[in-house]
Amino acid sequence: MSHSTVETAPDAQADWPDGIYALLKQYSIRQVALVPDAGHSRLIKRCLADNELRVVTLTTEEEGIALMQGAWLGGERSVLLMQSSGVGNCINMLSLSSIHRTPMPMIVTMRGDFGEFNPAQVAMGQATQSVLEAMGTLVHRADRAEDVLPTVEASLKLAFNTFRPTATLIGQRVLGAKTFGKD
């Protein structure tokens, strides 16, 4: 039994992160705001390697909502990558989108979801969709790997075509649950 506490994306061999990267390029995203999550690590590496993408690492996720507001003001498209726990940090700042009608697509990797190990993740994980929707965000879930790309694409289209916050929640069933070596 491994006792490693280093989190790795359990399906690191899956290719959907590369597909999300391709969608970010297809939809002309220029600023990628993020607080790192293991489930996004492969996508983050792809973004960092691309000189046409500005990766903005945040101290808290609400900064990303404000960054997306500024990017759109200046004519650039952006996206926010985060873990479900970070959604709670965004709540009031999401009002910027309803104030100004600003596209704000979010791609959220879930914790506190399917087979969670850590009790601390459950409260926010279970509340993630509700609080996003309470702030006017259109939310779509992907719980199978083959659903991730169509769902991300739908969320990007909805954000930029209809000027609002949208979120794709990538379920822990896709990502695998972090086990702290206790599986």
Partner 1 sequence: MLAPSGKIDRRELTRALLTDRGGMLVIAGLGAPAWDITAVDDGPQNLPLWGGMGGAAMIGLGLALAQPSRRVLVLTGDGEMLMGIGSLATIAHQAPKNLAIVVQDNEHYGETGMQETATRHGTDLATMARGAGIKNTMLVTEAGDVAALVKAARESDGPFFGVVKVDAGNKPLVLPPREGAILQARMREHLMGPQAHLA
Q: Enumerate binding residues for partner 1 (CB under 8 A).
A: 30-31, 54, 56-60, 62-76, 78, 92-93, 95-96, 99-102, 160
Toward partner 1, which CB reaches closer, 71 or 167?
71
State the number of CA atoms in the 13 A half-sphere of 158 facing the CB.
Answer: 18
Residue with Cβ nearer partner 1 (37 or 62): 62
Residue 7 CB, nearest distance to partner 1 (Å)?
23
Q: Which two tokens stand for residue 113?
A: 């979801």
Tokens standing for residue 138: 């259109």
* Least spacing, CB of residue 35 vs partner 1, in Å: 10
100 or 182: whose CB is closer to partner 1? 100
Name the residue nearer to partner 1 (CB basis): 25 or 54.
54
Instruction: State in angstroms the smallest separation of the CB of 93 from partner 1.
Output: 5
In whole angstroms, the minimum distance from the beta carbon of 135 to partner 1 comes to 12
Q: How far apart are the first and last CA of the chain?
A: 8
| Identity of the residue, 85 or 172, whose beta carbon is nearer to partner 1 in the bound complex | 85
Whether 169 contacts 108, CB under 8 Å? yes
Q: How far is the CB of 25 from partner 1 (least distance, A)?
A: 17
Distance (Å, whole) CA 176 – CA 161: 32
Q: Where are the alpha helices (DSSP H) in the chain?
A: 16-26, 41-48, 62-73, 84-87, 95-100, 122-134, 145-162, 172-175
Report yes or no: 108 and 167 within 8 Å, Cβ to Cβ.
Answer: yes
Contacts of 12 (CB under 8 A, 6+ apart): 42
